[in-house]
């Protein structure tokens, strides 16, 4: 790279001070630094986003020579597709209950384990451990824990005299069971984020509150909670976004059954796109999912900002 | 924050002694609940280990036991015999490791340029990268699958790795971290004649080791556990990763419990060991994405 010549264009734009030669590199090496990421993002994220939108307007079946342009027909078909609405209902129900559950339980556990001692460090690790395991491993383990013949859960329940149901084969219980596992898996995530935020609350605030006679609940309500608002918002947004993308857990635990009672939107997308190869329809599902995520995140941010005003 | 209400103004105030006793009981109860919860987090994994090392007659006879009455290696032998297990482990390592290393390199380069260098279009690039963060991965997977299909990259390492070799979230997190490093560091080096590359490689990267370590660990763990992407890109069992192969294995009928749990245990082991040794980085990585 040479830095000796000042390009004419640059000199023309801004008149250089007399007697002072502006030295400008001919080529800014910053572009080399961003090139790999920018190229990869362009090819594998940006262009596919546009292409996916385009495909959703076509009857696009892989292997066919031509793809017929159908306008918004995929979207209107989706609107009349009861299997899609069912998947959406399952996904939203899962997302709402798991988000609220993991944030509330994570908050409760974090406030109990706020002080760092050897036993609270140990307990924190225990709560965090399921979060690092893959959803697939978690799904497989729980599928067998809940097995009526060999599972630990029903064996323990029958030991105390409760005849336990077949959790994942029951149309009434399958979704609540999957939701419970979702909360179990993610409590540690909420706990860690909230703990990190709690530990940044200066201790003198608690001391001052104690001096003023505030009890434990009042200290929590008036010192901890306000300080946690950004972390709470972050955890619930992340929980919502990951919840709406539910796939691995149901795939491993139930494959969407019994009779679609746990089929999520992304499972349906996978089914349409990569089993039936109706890629136009699958793309339409993806775009609807995207718009839902966008809308819900916007609402969450909006609500948080309203609260910040007062 | 508006002031903490003083104790005298609190509406519900029990006599001091009764209040203290209630507080004690509540504290003890809450610890009991928290400890029970922690056990509920760990028992499933202990049970998985137990099942992996017991015979199925033992399991059917006493499902309520967590640990085997008699230890056997038959589950491990069965899963290694029924799946190309060594190959799956290698695949998962190559995929998660390769993509994570490339991602750290590319993301840190981009983050360095965005945080420390001036160039026309910098803000546009940053906003566009941020915008891609909003779009869920599922939107791109169909076109990317077609692209890889046309390139002949399905069922290949490059097909698994290259599209995941950069991440908008990584760029964003590293940019935030680099911006907090004092600019005197760069200035001093530049006075000594250092160019952009030297500043990046000799000044910024060494000072960002904790952030890079955290990002490495959470990204490696995410890819090690990733399911939908490898499931779509590789349908050949010799090019699959552990989560996809295990799921397909688990959905076969007449499944051998010990084999499946042994497979699950083995696929969990690298992350479990990393977690025990490097828990600090896991926690920092997850927490850093939460508080800016």
Domains of chain B, by residue range, sit at: 18-72, 76-288
Question: Mean pLDDT over residues A111-138, rounded?
Answer: 91
Token pair for A213: 């006679």
Mean per-residue pLDDT over chain A, rounded: 86
CA angle A3–B182–A34, rounded 5-degree value: 50
Q: Report the residue of chain A nearest B46, measured CA to CA.
A: A141
A223/B1 CB distance under 8 A? yes
Phi and psi of A278, rounded to 5°?
-90, 85
Q: Using omega within 30 degrees of 0 as the cis cutoff, is the peptide bond preceding A258 cis?
A: yes
Which of the pair, B232 or A10, is modelled with greater confidence?
Answer: B232
pLDDT at residue B4, as a whole number: 42
Least confident of A130-134, A150-154, B89-93, B249-253: B249-253
| Integer Cα distance of A2 and A96 in angstroms | 58
Cβ contacts of B263 within 8 Å, gap of 6 or more? B79, B83, B85, B242, B246, B249
Q: Which of B3, B119, B171 sits opposite A37 (nearest CB)?
A: B171
Q: Is the pLDDT of residue A200 over 90?
A: no
Q: Report the residue of chain A nearest B279, measured CA to CA.
A: A125
| Integer Cα distance of A263 and A248 in angstroms | 11
Q: Are strands A68-69 and A58-59 parallel, antiparallel or unpaired?
A: antiparallel
Token pair for B38: 């922690």
pLDDT at residue A310, as a whole number: 44
**pLDDT-derived band at B288, boundaries 50, 70, 90:** low
Q: Is the pLDDT of residue A1 over 50?
A: no
Q: Is residue A251 part of a domain?
A: yes
Q: Is residue A50 part of a domain?
A: no
Q: Cβ-count burial of A134 within 10 angstroms (0-12 exposed, 13-18 middle, 19+ buried)?
A: buried
Phi and psi of A60, rounded to 5°?
-110, 95
**pLDDT-derived band at A63, boundaries 50, 70, 90:** confident
Q: Is the pLDDT of residue B202 over 50?
A: yes
| Integer Cα distance of B108 and B151 in angstroms | 28
| Integer Cα distance of A238 and B49 in angstroms | 31
Count Cβ atoms below 10 Å from residue A218 Cβ, excluding itself.
18
**Does the beta carbon of B59 lie under 8 angstroms from any beta carbon of chain A?**
yes
Residue with tokens 């922690």: B38
Question: Mean pLDDT over residues A293-301, rounded?
Answer: 87
Residue in B19, B136, B195, B199 to test binding to A, most A beta-carbons within 10 Å: B136
Q: Are A289 and A87 in contact (CB under 8 A)?
A: no
Least confident of A48-57, B23-32, B153-162: B23-32
- For residue B155, is it left (φ>0), alpha (ψ between -120 and 50) or beta? left
Count Cβ atoms below 10 Å from residue A179 Cβ, excluding itself.
22
Which residues from chain A sit within 8 angstroms of residue B64, using beta carbons? 152, 155-156, 159
**pLDDT-derived band at B46, boundaries 50, 70, 90:** very high
Question: Mean pLDDT over residues A246-273, rounded?
Answer: 92
| Integer Cα distance of B79 and B99 in angstroms | 27
DSSP calls for A37-95: HHHHHIIIIIHHHHHHHHHTTEE-BTT-S--EE-TTHHHHHHHT-HHHHHHHHHHHHHH
Which of the pair, B289 or B1, is modelled with greater confidence?
Answer: B289
Q: Is the pLDDT of residue B291 over 60?
A: no
Q: Is the pLDDT of residue A4 over 60?
A: no
**pLDDT-derived band at A306, boundaries 50, 70, 90:** low
Residue in B42, B133, B142 to test binding to A, most A beta-carbons within 10 Å: B142
| Integer Cα distance of A87 and A68 in angstroms | 27
Question: Mean pLDDT over residues B217-241, rounded?
Answer: 91
Instruction: Count structural domains, chain A.
Output: 1
DSSP calls for chain A: ---SPPPHHHHHHSPPPTT-PPP--SS-THHHHHHHHHHHHIIIIIHHHHHHHHHTTEE-BTT-S--EE-TTHHHHHHHT-HHHHHHHHHHHHHHHHHHHHHHHHHHHHHHHT-S--HHHHHHHHHHHHHHHS-HHHHHHHHHHHT-TTT-HHHHHHHHTT-----GGG-TTTHHHHHHHHHHHHHHHHHHHHHHHHHTTS-HHHHHHHHHTT--HHHHIIIIIHHHHHHHHHHHHHHHHHHHHT--HHHHHHTTT-STTTT--HHHHHHIIIIIS-BHHHHHHHHHHHHHHHHHHHHHHHHHHHHHHH-
Q: Which of B64, B283, B286 sits opposite A155 (nearest CB)?
A: B64
User: CATH no. for residue A85?
Assistant: 1.10.3720.10
Q: Is the pLDDT of residue A169 over 60?
A: yes
Q: Is the pLDDT of residue B43 over 80?
A: yes
Question: Mean pLDDT over residues B223-242, rounded?
Answer: 91
Mean per-residue pLDDT over chain B, rounded: 87
3-state secondary structure of B289: coil
Which of the pair, A177 or B70, is modelled with greater confidence?
Answer: A177
DSSP calls for B254-280: S--HHHHHHHHHHHHHHHHHHHHHHHH
Question: Mean pLDDT over residues A184-208, rounded?
Answer: 90
Which residue range is the domain that position A183 belongs to?
73-309
**pLDDT-derived band at B281, boundaries 50, 70, 90:** confident
Q: Is residue A45 part of a domain?
A: no
Q: Are B287 and B216 in contact (CB under 8 A)?
A: no
pLDDT at residue B14, as a whole number: 59
Third-level CATH fold of B76-288: MetI-like fold (1.10.3720)
* pTM strictly above 0.95: no
Question: Mean pLDDT over residues A202-225, rounded?
Answer: 87
Minimal C-alpha gap between B193 and chain A (Å):
13
Which of the pair, B253 or A155, is modelled with greater confidence?
Answer: A155
pLDDT at residue B26, as a whole number: 86
pLDDT at residue B220, as a whole number: 92
Q: Is the pLDDT of residue B148 over 90?
A: yes
Q: Are B169 and B133 in contact (CB under 8 A)?
A: yes
Least confident of A109-123, A295-309, B233-247, B263-277: A295-309
**pLDDT-derived band at A9, boundaries 50, 70, 90:** very low
Count Cβ atoms below 10 Å from residue A144 Cβ, excluding itself.
24
Question: Mean pLDDT over residues A123-135, rounded?
Answer: 93
The number of angstroms, rounded, from the C-alpha of A275 to the middle of its chain's C-alpha atoms is: 25
Token pair for B242: 């552990």
Minimal C-alpha gap between A231 and chain B (Å):
6
**pLDDT-derived band at A13, boundaries 50, 70, 90:** very low
pLDDT at residue A25, as a whole number: 53
Residue with tokens 């080791």: B209
In this predicted complex, what is the ipTM? 0.85
């Amino acid at each position: 790279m040479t830095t000796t010549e000042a390009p004419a264009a640059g000199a023309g734009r801004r008149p250089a001070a007399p007697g002072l030669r502006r030295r400008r590199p001919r080529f800014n090496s910053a572009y080399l630094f961003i090139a790999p990421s920018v190229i990869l993002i362009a090819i594998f994220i940006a262009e596919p986003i546009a292409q996916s939108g385009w495909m959703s307007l076509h009857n696009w079946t892989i292997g066919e020579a031509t793809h017929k342009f159908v306008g918004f027909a995929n979207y209107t078909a989706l609107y009349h597709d009861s299997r899609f609405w069912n998947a959406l209902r399952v996904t939203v129900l899962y997302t709402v209950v798991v988000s609220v559950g993991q944030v509330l339980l994570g908050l409760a556990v974090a406030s109990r384990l706020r002080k760092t001692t050897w036993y609270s460090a140990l307990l924190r690790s225990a709560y965090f451990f399921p979060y690092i395991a893959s959803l697939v491993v978690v799904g497989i383990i729980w599928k067998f824990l809940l097995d009526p013949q060999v599972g630990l859960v029903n064996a323990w329940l029958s030991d105390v005299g409760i005849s336990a149901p077949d959790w994942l084969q029951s149309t009434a219980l399958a979704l609540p069971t999957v939701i419970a596992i979702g909360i179990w898996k993610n409590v540690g995530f909420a706990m860690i984020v909230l703990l990190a935020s709690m530990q940044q609350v200066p201790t003198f605030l608690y001391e001052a509150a104690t001096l003023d006679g505030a009890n434990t609940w009042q200290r929590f309500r008036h010192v901890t909670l306000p300080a946690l608002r950004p972390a709470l918002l972050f955890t619930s947004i992340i929980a919502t976004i990951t919840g709406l993308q539910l796939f691995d857990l149901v795939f491993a635990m139930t494959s969407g059954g019994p009779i679609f009672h746990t089929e999520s939107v992304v499972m349906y997308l996978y089914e349409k796109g990569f089993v039936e190869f109706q890629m136009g329809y699958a793309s339409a599902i993806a775009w609807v999912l995207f718009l839902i995520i966008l809308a819900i995140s916007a609402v969450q941010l909006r609500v948080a900002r309203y609260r910040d005003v007062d | 924050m508006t002031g903490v209400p003083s104790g005298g103004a609190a509406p519900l105030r029990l006599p001091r002694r009764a209040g203290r006793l209630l507080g004690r009981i509540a504290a003890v109860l809450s610890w009991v609940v928290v400890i029970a919860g922690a056990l509920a987090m760990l028992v499933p994994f202990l049970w998985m280990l137990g099942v992996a090392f017991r015979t199925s007659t033992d399991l059917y006879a006493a499902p309520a036991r967590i640990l085997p009455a008699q230890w056997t290696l038959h589950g491990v032998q069965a899963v290694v015999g029924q799946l190309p297990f060594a190959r799956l482990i290698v695949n998962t390592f190559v995929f998660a490791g390769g993509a994570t290393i490339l991602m750290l390199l590319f993301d840190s380069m981009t983050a360095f340029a965005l945080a420390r260098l001036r160039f026309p279009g910098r803000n546009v690039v940053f906003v566009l990268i941020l915008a891609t963060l909003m779009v869920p991965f599922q939107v791109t997977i169909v076109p990317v699958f077609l692209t890889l299909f046309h390139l002949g990259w399905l069922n290949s390492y490059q097909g698994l790795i290259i599209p995941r070799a950069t991440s908008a979230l990584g760029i964003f997190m590293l940019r935030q971290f680099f911006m907090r490093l004092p600019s005197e560091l760069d200035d001093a080096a530049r006075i000594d004649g250092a160019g952009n590359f030297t500043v990046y490689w000799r000044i910024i990267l060494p000072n960002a080791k904790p952030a890079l370590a955290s990002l490495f660990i959470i990204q490696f763990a995410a890819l090690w556990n990733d399911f939908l992407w490898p499931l779509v890109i590789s349908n050949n069992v010799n090019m699959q990763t552990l989560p996809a192969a295990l799921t397909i294995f688990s959905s076969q009928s007449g499944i051998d419990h010990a084999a499946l749990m042994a497979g699950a245990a083995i696929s969990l082991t690298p992350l479990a060991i990393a977690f025990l040794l490097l828990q600090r980085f896991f926690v920092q990585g997850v927490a850093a994405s939460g508080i800016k």
